[in-house]
Amino acid sequence: MQTFSSLRDGYNAVVIGASGGIGSAVSHALEADARCANVFKISRGGDISLDICDEASIATAAEAVSRQIDSVDLVFNATGALMLGDTPPEKTIRRLDPQIMAWHFQVNAIGPALLIKHFAPLLAKDRRGLFGTLSARVGSIGDNRLGGWMSYRAAKAAQNQVVRTASIELARTHPQAVLVALHPGTVATPLSDPFAGNRERLTPDQSASMLLDVMNALNPEHTGSFFAYDGTRIEW
C-alpha cells in the first residue's frame, strides 16, 4: 500500500460512495495508510448516510464530518451510475428517454456538483487539499468517436465542466487545493460488467491504488483537469 506522502501526517479523508466497488477499495487503501488519521466513509446506508439526489442529506453529511474534525485533507467522490434499474444506456438518439436523461444528470452531474458545494469548503485554506471525483473517459467530448450512450456521456461531460468551473472558484479561497475529474478505467464492478466486452479490466483495488497515486502526485497547477488512472491527462 502506498503512503499519501503529499498530505500532512495525520491527514483526514472523506470517501463518498464508500459502499461501491471503487469507493470501498479507496476506503480500505486509505485506512491502511499509517499517516491517515481518519477515513469518513459515506454512503446511502453508512454510519454517515447520503442520498446523491437529496441536497439536504448531502449538507447534513458534510456537517456531520465538520463536527468531528477541524478540516479535511482529501475528498474522494466515488458515486455514479450507468444504468437506471434494468435500462441500459441508449445506443442511438432514437432511444433517448427524457426522464432517464434527467436521472443521469441528477446522479452524474448535479449530485457531484452538490458534493463539491458542500464538501470542498471543508478543505483547509492554508495547506494542501485534494478533491477527486469519478468521471469517465466517455464524458470527454474530444475523445468521442463512437457515439452512443448519449445521456451518460452528456451527464459526465457536464460533471467535467462543473469540476473545471468550481476549480477556478476554489483556487481563490484555497490556493493549495487540487480539484480534478478522474477516469478509473474499466473496473470489474457491477456497473461495468455488462459492458466490458473483451476489454482488460482492473480490479477495484488496482484502480483505487492507481487513482490515489495519481492524486498524490498532483499540484495546484493541475487543478480543474481530467486524469486517467494511469496518470495521463484526458482532453475535455
Give the residue extent of every domain in the chain: 11-228
Instruction: Say what the pLDDT of residue 197 is.
Output: 64
Judge contact between 141 and 236, C-beta under 8 A: yes
Give pLDDT < 50 ranges for the chain. Answer: none
Buried b (16+ CB within 10 A) or exposed e, 45-84: ebebebebeebebbeebbeebeeeeebbbbbbbbbbbbeb
For the domain spanning 11-228, the CATH number is 3.40.50.720
Pairing outcome for strands 129-134 and 74-77: parallel
Residue identified by cell 487545493 is 177
pTM over 0.85? The answer is yes
Q: What is the pLDDT of residues 120-174, one digit of tens each?
A: 999 999 999 999 999 999 999 999 889 999 999 999 999 999 999 999 999 999 9
CA distance 34 to 4: 9
CA nearest neighbour of 236 among 189, 167, 175: 167
The pLDDT of residue 23 is 97
pLDDT of residue 172: 98
Q: Determine the residue type at 165.
A: T
Tally of CA atoms within 13 A in the half-sphere of 127 that contains its CB: 13
